Amino acid sequence: MSAANQKSGGTEERSFQTEVQQLLHLLIHSLYTHSDVFLRELISNASDALDKVRFRSLTDRQIADPDAALEIEIEVNTSAKTLTIRDSGIGMTREEVNQNIGTIAHSGSASLLKELSAAKDQDEKAKLQLIGQFGVGFYSVFMVAERVVLTTRAADPGAEAVQWESTGGGTYTIAAADKKDRGTEIKVYLRADGEEYLDAHRLEQIIRRHSDYVGYPIKVAGKQANSGSPLWTQPRSQISEEQYQEFYTHLSGDHDKPLAWEHVAVDVPIQFHSVLYVPRQSPMELLFRPEPRIALDLYVKRVFIQDDCKELLPMYLRFVRGVVDCDDLPLNVSRETLQHNPVVTKIRANLVRRLLALLEKMAKDRPEDYQTFWKAYGIVLKEGVVADHEHHGELSRLLRYTSSLGETPETLSSLQDYLDRMKEGQERIYFLAGEKGAVAQSPLLDAFRQRGLEVLFLTDPVDEWVVNRLEKYEGKEFQAIDAEDVDLGKEPRIEGADTDREQTIELLSFLKKALAERVADVRESQRLTDSPCALVTPKGGISHNMERLMKMTDRQFAPNRRVLEINPRHPVIRNLGAHLEKKRQNAQLEEWAHFLVDYVLLGEGTVEDPQRVLRNLNTIMAGASAHLAGEG
Ligand code: ADP
């Protein structure tokens, strides 16, 4: 809270919010090499204010100065060493000034401050770099100003004009002012080292470089310095990479370079322009808030209409930022009329197609950037497989998984990579769904490894839904390797390990009885080689991974029992069989039976009865150590 101190003539003196004071201190006392950006920030604010007033004037005939030209003027006074930036925008009331310019209202500054306090032991240079990354909006003016006087009058008829003034110290004053016309005027008293900004040529150069996208004329000493048409209506060939980036920063407040962008200009059957950006990163809370937004600004015939347009993109593309400007919508469109509007539907279909193609191109030409993309948004994009059947083809080409044949545990493969590596005659795409560390260790992989068959690891909770939804990729069905009915052809034999059929049959029937409460059945495995046993999903059952996820959301959920497969060629199983033949049923053997199940569960990262596991481990260790002692 800022303390207000009433002075004569309605002048109040107020303290800046503490965080603002810290920020200002840093801005004023450090030599910042990118001070040019203050102009961009002030112009960006003026442009937003003009957008707002233009939108309001569509419906509000009472607005102050309805016929004022929508433009930004910059005036230089070399003798007074001042620079004035004036707009005929929406203006601010006294409360709005206090709220907007006195506290950290804007999210970029808030996250900057968080970073700054994390970097509090670093040198000034590192902190200034952070400022460059986040941008500080209006406050950046104090990099060049020793005093700033802001005079503003809101667009409401009869609104009181106010004057805000500060030297960037701990306080500012706010008072009633005499301003007849609508809008905001910012008078910057330049510091001695900021006098370069009194040079009109220099200003024009900065404007062309950083603010050319602005759709309103920006006049320096009466002369227009920018092209004056919004970036999206300009021909692609005339826009530099830097201009696309400046525009992105203006839209998003993000100073990082976007991963990719697309500039769309369509004439038939409907006329619209769009510039779409894929940010390098988006805060999780933005992507996963309860009511996510589609951060596209909608313009109609160059007039800003609204900034959250759920109709323009499906939710699974909510990481995209950008603008859409359409000539074929009426200026009085409302949220309600946007729904089911055939023009909007067409635009949306076009944007989805372009974006998916853009991502596919990124994946192909810039695999490293695509990895960054996938890590940031893969989980959001996967929602598309469930929500958008029409684009299954495109979406499935964008999916990435780790796999049993990956170069490193982190290496990502596409489904096409998988297909390219498939063995001759292989008919299915094998996968194993489960926890990240556990899947790569699963005994079920033995037989696949041995045959050189690749298994995709589905470690994201939604992954299994996604492949179930897709059913096939390029005609190849997906197959879970922990299903009971995986057919791998003839079983492999372990060299020199003959099995005793009768022993195996007897062991199976013993285990079935001993484990009746824990497993649905016990079978002889056709696929295990190096592991004694595994648990698999019975035919037609819900996969264990799905059950695990259901249990997370519903604690009452009772999972189905799985089938225990044993490997009769494995020494542990053979020894148990031999023991059973000699000793018949006994308590120790029953403990062993349970341990076979617990052994698998441990590998999956769950323990049902830790006490029993410990008891068994104890026995095993005692036996093994006795063996060791005997050897020594
Ligand atoms: P940001 O523009 O990112 O929100 P700023 O610190 O630059 O952050 O500005 C804070 C707020 O002050 C703006 O969101 C806007 O509401 C208000 N503001 C700034 N400049 C103007 C202006 N020229 N006209 C009207 N409002 C303005």
The answer for residues whose C-beta is within 8 angstroms of residue 484's C-beta and 6 or more apart is 523, 536, 537, 538, 539, 541, 563
Kindly state the average pLDDT of the residues 3-8.
54
| CATH class for the region spanning 497-632 | mainly alpha
Of 107-111, 499-503, 547-551, 589-593, which has the strongest mean pLDDT? 589-593
- Using one digit for the tens of pLDDT, what is the confidence trace for 457-480? 999 988 999 999 999 999 999 999
92 lines ligand 1 (CB under 6 A): yes
253 lines ligand 1 (CB under 6 A): yes
Q: Are strands 218-220 and 72-77 parallel, antiparallel or unpaired?
A: parallel
The answer for residues whose C-beta is within 8 angstroms of residue 272's C-beta and 6 or more apart is 264, 266, 324, 325, 326, 327, 328, 347
Domain spans in the chain, listed from the N-terminal domain onward: 5-224, 231-383, 399-481, 497-632
Task: Using alpha carbons, select from 183, 190, 219 the residue that is nearest to residue 203.
Answer: 219
The residue whose CB lies within 8 Å of the most ligand 1 atoms, and thus the one to mutate among 16, 39, 45, 254, is 45
100 lines ligand 1 (CB under 6 A): yes
Domain 5-224 and domain 399-481, same fold? Reply is: no
Ligand 1 atom with minimal separation from the 91 CA = 25
- Using one digit for the tens of pLDDT, what is the confidence trace for 197-226? 999 999 999 998 888 889 999 999 999 999
Place of tokens 């109709």: 311
- Using one digit for the tens of pLDDT, what is the confidence trace for 335-359? 788 888 999 999 999 999 999 999 9
Place of tokens 């209409």: 305
What's the CATH code, domain 231-383? 3.30.230.80
User: Is-cis flag, bond preceding 461, omega within 30?
Assistant: no
How far does the centroid of ligand 1 lie from the alpha carbon of residue 247, in Å? Answer: 17
| CATH class for the region spanning 5-224 | alpha beta
Give CA–CA dist 187/164, Å, rounded. 10
Give CA–CA dist 80/78, Å, rounded. 6
- Using one digit for the tens of pLDDT, what is the confidence trace for 374-397? 999 999 999 999 899 999 999 999
Single pTM value for the model: 0.76
Ligand 1 atom with minimal separation from the 186 CA = 23
106 lines ligand 1 (CB under 6 A): yes
**Residue 523 pLDDT more than 60?**
yes
Contact 490, 531 (CB under 8 A): no
406 lines ligand 1 (CB under 6 A): no
47 lines ligand 1 (CB under 6 A): no
What is the model's pLDDT at position 2?
Answer: 44
Could you please state the CATH topology (level 3) that the domain comprising 399-481 is classified under. Rossmann fold (3.40.50)
The residue whose CB lies within 8 Å of the most ligand 1 atoms, and thus the one to mutate among 48, 187, 307, is 48
How far does the centroid of ligand 1 lie from the alpha carbon of residue 20, in Å? Answer: 15
Place of tokens 């590192």: 126
45 lines ligand 1 (CB under 6 A): yes
Q: Minimum mean pLDDT among 130-134, 232-236, 390-394: which range?
A: 130-134
**Residue 276 pLDDT more than 60?**
yes
- Using one digit for the tens of pLDDT, what is the confidence trace for 570-600? 999 999 999 888 877 678 889 999 999 999 9
**Residue 187 pLDDT more than 90?**
yes
Provide the percentage of residues in the chain whose pLDDT is more than 70. Answer: 92
How far does the centroid of ligand 1 lie from the alpha carbon of residue 185, in Å? Answer: 12
Give CA–CA dist 340/326, Å, rounded. 16
Q: Which two tokens stand for residue 399?
A: 């999916």
What is the model's pLDDT at position 128?
Answer: 64
